[in-house]
Amino acid sequence: MRCSHCGQTNESYVTLCVGCGRPLAPAPQAARTGPVDPGYSTVEQGRGSTILFFGILSIILAGLILGIPAWIMARRDLKKMRAGTMSMDERRATLTGMVFGIIGILLNPVLWGLSLALFMKATPQL
């Protein structure tokens, strides 16, 4: 690229001008900060963090309420990832969230059963 200070022509990989030593202004590359690449927008962004969050919550409080949506969302997203219409970035979080969701679903009736049993025990028979 051509130096804006002294006019020296530099190779594209140098960051300091060979002629005057001043930093070369980054050329039109700065357009990278603009909106997302058009080619990238066709790929749907994953919802891994949401699914993971649901999965964790499903274990600690509400297995059936959050575990089922986490499971369904994860299955749908993993299918899209296999088909290549969704970004693979959050695949691991999606998988983990799905596993947590399933654990939450399985664990929840046990927890409910236990607390119900304790409640029945603590309540005097009428």
Q: Which residues bind Zn ion (CB under 5 A)?
A: 3, 5-6, 8, 17, 19-20
Q: Give the residue from 101, 104, 122 showing the smallest Cα distance to 112.
A: 104
C-beta of residue 35 within 8 angstroms of C-beta of residue 51: no
| Choice between 14 and 114, CB closer to Zn ion | 14
Question: Least distance (Å) from Zn ion to the CB of residue 14?
Answer: 10
Question: Least distance (Å) from Zn ion to the CB of residue 9?
Answer: 10
Question: Least distance (Å) from Zn ion to the CB of residue 4?
Answer: 8
CA distance 97 to 103: 10
| Choice between 6 and 27, CB closer to Zn ion | 6
CA distance 88 to 49: 13
The b/e string for 29-51 (b: 16+ C-beta within 10 A; e otherwise) is eeeeeeeeeeeeeebeebbbebb
| Choice between 6 and 117, CB closer to Zn ion | 6
| Choice between 5 and 79, CB closer to Zn ion | 5
Question: Least distance (Å) from Zn ion to the CB of residue 12?
Answer: 15
